[in-house]
Amino acid sequence: MLALLAAGLALAVAAAAAQDGPAPGSRFVCTALPPEAARAGCPLPAAPEEELRAAVLQLRETVVRQKETLGAQREAIRELTAKLARCEGLAGGKDTMGDLPRDPGHLVEQLGRSLQALKDRLESLEHQLRGNVSSAALPPGDFQRRLGELERQLLRKVAELEDEKSLLHNETSAHRQKTESTLNALLQRVSELERGNSAFKSPDAFKVSLPLRTNYLYGKVKKTLPELYAFTICLWLRSSASPGIGTPFSYAVPGQANEIVLIEWGNNPIELLINDKVAQLPLFVSDGKWHHICVTWTTRDGLWEAFQDGEKLGTGENLAPWHPIKPGGVLILGQEQDAVGGRFDATQAFVGELSQFNIWDRVLRAQEIANIANCSTNLPGNVIPWVDGNVDVFGGASKWPAETCEERLLDL
């Protein structure tokens, strides 16, 4: 009975409150009612079906997006946690992130702190690696400074080595040139001392000595020949070389190294070459005594003559007939030229002494040649005269004072 009275009182109070409106600061209390009560007199407010369906769809989409966001955040947390674990394994440090909260409200702030901690740890690892490379705990500035100093020292050392290499090459070349210059000066001085003075009694009172069979001892006549249609060449020579005395003289022009050559090579007789054409001469001079030799030639029919000690020993023709001797060549004493002024062959070198080498542009008469040979007349060549200033010597060849006529008397 009391329970019925309490229930009735509560209903009466609620009905009064509903009629008067809610008092300020009051709250509604919702109480679930059974369906029978709703059917009996408390119907629910009606809502449009479309609005309810839209609200359900919106709530469903919101739930799906929230699930996707949470899934992405969980995946990011797992990746960052794995990276941090690898970095901690390399550095041997402790966990700086701790347990990440599961509350999405604090996730962004916590992720920012974790990323900053990861950045700091990576910088620490980079500094440690630099310290290991430098093998000492150097500050970055000292490390760069030491590295720069080592690089500069290496560059200086390389430059010093290059300078030493260049200096050594220059010193070697300079030393070789100085040695050659000193030897030439000594040879010249010895020659002057042995002569007693630097001048001969007369310009033609000298001889050229070629003591060795080499390809670098020779004399060179400074003057060259004009175009010749005839010539006479005379000289004094002394040689005991065997086999063959070699080449007393040779004249070469561009295109023809054997324009005029007198040669005794090996066991062959003495030969006269004109424009590379050959005539054998019946001369015999390799007895170690002074002999006067003359050869004449004319382009007309290629006529030639050979004289020894003033006596004609041979004559012939058809030696380069109608060929003029070409001008502007090089005249060498003691060597046969395979090229103009060079390419000497030691096996063809003259060994002995030469003097009174003269050239005329005509065929001398037999009596003129005999007078020269017996020293009864002095007839210098009108094309090439034998004078000291017209002959240079090279490679150890030397010029000595000589009176060939007097020395020839000593040989008798």
Mean pLDDT value of segment 52-59: 70
Residue type, 216: Y
Q: Which residue has the higher pLDDT, 313 or 98?
A: 313
- For residue 307, pLDDT over 60 is answered with yes
The pLDDT of residue 123 = 59
Q: Which of 173-187, 215-229, 329-343, 390-404 has the lowest mean pLDDT?
A: 173-187
**Mean pLDDT, the chain, integer:** 76
Nearest to 219 by CA among 355, 333, 339, 354: 333
pTM above 0.75, yes or no: no
The pLDDT of residue 77 = 78
Cβ-based neighbour number of residue 9 at 10 Å: 10
Question: Residue 357 in contact with residue 386, Cβ under 8 Å?
Answer: yes
Dihedral of the CA atoms 211, 212, 214, 215 (nearest 10)? 0
Q: What are phi and psi of 383, to 5 degrees?
A: -105, -55
pLDDT category, 365, cuts 50, 70, 90? very high
Would you state the structure tokens that stand for residue 195, as one six-digit string? 């002569």
- For residue 366, pLDDT over 70 is answered with yes
Question: Residue 69 in contact with residue 104, Cβ under 8 Å?
Answer: yes
The pLDDT of residue 88 = 59
